[in-house]
Amino acid sequence: MSTLQRSRPVKPVTAARDYRTFVRELLSFGFVGFIGTVITIGGANLLRHWLGGSPLTSVIIPTAVSTLSSYLLNRYWTFRGSRSDGSGREVALFFGLNAIGAAIQVLCTGFTYYTLGLHSGFAYNLALLAGLGLASAFRYWSYKKWIFSPHPV
């Protein structure tokens, strides 16, 4: 018996299975994002309003904490079936892409606070949410493209 005959048959990739995988990943990614949002917005408001931090520092510190928790949750839960090895290269790439995402968040906050001159708590939180939304779209796309790509068939 040849090697080809002894190997398991490969299941064909179906549109329904691809869709279910996509929906599961998107929902998991959204839940991880929700946790990250709570960490970021809660931490930013704690640092800014209760401890008197600057508007930008108050975004950067909780974003770093959120990034670490997001890496662990995405690596071991959301994209668990992906070709991800936890190597130093993967971790560096993840944190590098998250730095771009954090820059998007900081730019939204800085633009609202310094350029538009909107200093209210409502405007601050709206800028945080807008930045998180834009950064989340970038992160999902970049994770799928460069970090947690699917196993080859």
Question: CA 111 to CA 6: how far, in whole Å?
Answer: 62
For residue 36, the enclosing domain spans 15-147
Residue 86 domain flag: yes
Residue 152 domain flag: no
Residue 68 domain flag: yes
Residue 5 domain flag: no
Residue 23 domain flag: yes
In Å, the largest CA–CA distance within the chain is 75
Q: Total domain count for the chain?
A: 1
Q: Over the stretch 75-120, which tens digit does the pLDDT of each residue have?
A: 888 877 776 666 788 888 888 998 999 899 899 999 999 999 999 9
Mean pLDDT of the chain: 83
∠ CA 99-101-107 to the nearest 5 degrees?
A: 100
Q: What is the DSSP letter of 111?
A: I
pTM of the model: 0.66
